[in-house]
């Protein structure tokens, strides 16, 4: 599948997905791709267990999501973009966003931590990067952001083993094609 086909697929899926939380999972530099994928898999499993409960996860119930992995301009800056659908859970979009952010920052060893801005009195403030975890207000902007990286750097790896759609979403996507 070439970048144009990937871009077309992403465009169609985003249009028909009912996602409301966007996450960019950033790793420390010099991370191998397979290690990044393994860390993301572990992270999403932990998040599924927290949100959906262990018993439901064992039965195959997961948070509905679409995941892609990109290497960035330098080709070693691995990061993952995930679109979550909070409506597939009992959590609100805000609760899912907060849980996703907390688990990424506290439970993933290779996650890039927030930068610290030190104050004169010895305290510090965590500086969040834009687009780390946010509520989706404009699907077109998210689509543009994802597709711009495909066009600019030509790197995008869809992660089907980490993407999960409900039966209803699969049916919508099939009907759209």
For residue 24, pLDDT beyond 70:
yes
Q: What is the pLDDT of residue 6?
A: 66
- The helices-and-strands tally (H runs, E runs) of the chain is 6, 7
pLDDT of residue 63: 96
Mean pLDDT of 21-35: 85
Q: What is the CA radius of gyration of the chain?
A: 16
Please check the confidence at residue 30 and state whether its pLDDT lies above 70. Answer: yes
Residue with the bigger pLDDT between 78 and 3: it is 78
pLDDT in tens, 135-165: 999 888 888 887 776 666 565 677 888 889 8
Question: Domains in the chain, ordered, with CATH?
Answer: 3-167 (3.30.70)
Which tens digit of pLDDT belongs to each residue from 112-130?
766 556 566 766 565 555 5
Q: Which burial class, exposed, middle or buried, applies to 104 when counting CB atoms under 10 A from its CB (0-12, 13-18, 19+)?
A: buried
Which tens digits make up the pLDDT trace of 57-74?
999 999 999 888 887 666
Percent of the chain at pLDDT above 70?
Answer: 77
Average pLDDT over residues 83-90: 94
Give the Cα separation of 48 and 82 in Å (integer): 14
* Average pLDDT, rounded, for the chain: 82
């Amino acid at each position: 599948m070439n970048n144009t086909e990937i871009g077309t697929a992403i465009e169609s899926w985003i249009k028909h997905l009912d996602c409301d939380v966007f996450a960019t999972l950033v790793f420390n530099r010099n991370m191998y791709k397979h290690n990044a994928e393994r860390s993301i898999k572990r992270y999403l499993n932990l998040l599924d267990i927290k949100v959906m409960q262990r018993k439901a996860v064992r039965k195959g119930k997961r948070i509905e999501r679409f995941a892609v992995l990109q290497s960035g301009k330098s080709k070693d800056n691995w990061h993952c973009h995930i679109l979550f659908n909070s409506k597939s859970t009992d959590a609100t979009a805000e609760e899912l966003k907060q849980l996703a952010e907390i688990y990424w920052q506290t439970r993933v060893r290779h996650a890039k931590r927030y930068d610290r801005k030190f104050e004169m009195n010895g305290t510090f403030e965590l500086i969040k990067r834009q687009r780390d975890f946010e509520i989706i207000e404009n699907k077109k902007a998210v689509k543009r952001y994802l597709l711009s990286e495909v066009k600019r750097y030509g790197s995008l790896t869809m992660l089907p083993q980490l993407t999960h759609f409900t039966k209803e979403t699969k049916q919508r996507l099939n009907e759209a094609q």
